[in-house]
Amino acid sequence: MTVLRYAYLGPAGTFTEEALRQVASPDEAVYLPQTDVGSAIAAVRSGAADRAVVAIESTAEGGVTATLDSLATGAPLVLLREVLVPVQFTLVAPAGVPLGGVRRIAAHPHAWVQCRRWLAAHLPAAVHVPATSNTAPAALLAEAAGDAAAVAALPFDAALVPPAAVGTYGLEPLAERVADNPSALTRFVVVGPPGPVPPPTGADKTTLVVHLPDNEAGALLAMLEQFAVRGVNLSRIESRPIGDALGRYSFSIDAEGHVTDERMGEVLMGLHRRCPYVRFLGSYPRADAVAPLVHLGTSDQDFVEARAWLARLRGGDPA
């Protein structure tokens, strides 16, 4: 068995590591922590890693710009899988600190924002001690553990950390599932070099980057009609600037279905014909395993029959 090397946003204990654990356990893969998303993706392009696991979208922030932009240009890469991770935090503290004794809480600013209502309800007097990452305060707590002077010297009493950091750093949970929006999620993708497309499962997604033929509202409408007329739904569409002038956009799109679906194939060919730039970023199973609604006349069978009928017409048999 080949042991794959995974680049990801480290260090140990991050949400990305939690996503990576859903993909491959540390026993059967090499974990290569990176300092940022761009480095993780670059590691695949350079061959330093076989795969990257990177966040692509979150309920709170939307598309992850660094990921979208790194994938949209440069050497081709493809998405092989998606993984959903709930965005919930664990409040941790040195041994012996009761919840009622917490005054200063270390947290990355994003984490603080996503827990604000919980904190107002449970620890209204607590103040925010900004951290540079979700795992940095976990590391400080682990280092100080068991050394009363070191604990006393910490600039905070407690910290909001990813659940995965609790075990990694041997921390003491004071409160779990801390989050204002209990259904908050981050979507991660597994990125690899081009190669055989994962076979269709019946519940797949196809990710694309598309530039519009010109600078008009009508062009976006015409692009969406390429999908609509073949009955392919979109589950995500985001605009990113192309960067050469105001008002020029690149669209990042998730469409429901697989590149081997007849209807998806015709959509892709239509986009290729009409749009100046179309990049295929892969077809892969949906994390939620929801099969797409197949509209009237858009099943593979419908396409196959229509093609046979057209062949008969062209051969002179219009019956």
Binding to a copy of itself (CB under 8 A): which residues in 285-304? 296-298, 302-303
Residue 5, helix vs strand vs coil: strand
Instruction: With CA atoms as reference, report the closest residue to 69 among 264, 284, 269, 281.
Output: 281
Number of residues located near a copy of itself, criterion CB under 8 A: 79
Rounded distance, CA 60 to CA 86, Å? 12
**Binding to a copy of itself, residues 254-273 (CB under 8 A):** 259-260, 265-266, 268-270, 272-273
Question: Does residue 182 belong to the site contacting a copy of itself (CB under 8 A)?
Answer: no
Q: Given the complex with a copy of itself, which of 125 and 217 has the nearer CB atom?
A: 217
Cβ–Cβ < 8 Å for 82, 55:
no
Q: Given the complex with a copy of itself, which of 127 and 319 has the nearer CB atom?
A: 319
Helix count and strand count (H, E) for the chain: 11, 15
Residue 229 gets which letter from DSSP?
T
Smallest separation, CB 27 to a copy of itself (Å):
29
Question: Does residue 177 belong to the site contacting a copy of itself (CB under 8 A)?
Answer: no
**Binding to a copy of itself, residues 201-240 (CB under 8 A):** 213, 216-218, 220-222, 224-230, 232-240
Q: Where are the beta strands (DSSP E) in the chain?
A: 4-9, 29-34, 51-58, 62-63, 78-86, 89-93, 104-107, 127-130, 158-161, 172-178, 185-192, 204-211, 234-241, 249-256, 277-285
Smallest separation, CB 114 to a copy of itself (Å):
10
**Binding to a copy of itself, residues 66-105 (CB under 8 A):** 76, 78, 84
Question: Does residue 47 belong to the site contacting a copy of itself (CB under 8 A)?
Answer: no
Smallest separation, CB 90 to a copy of itself (Å):
22
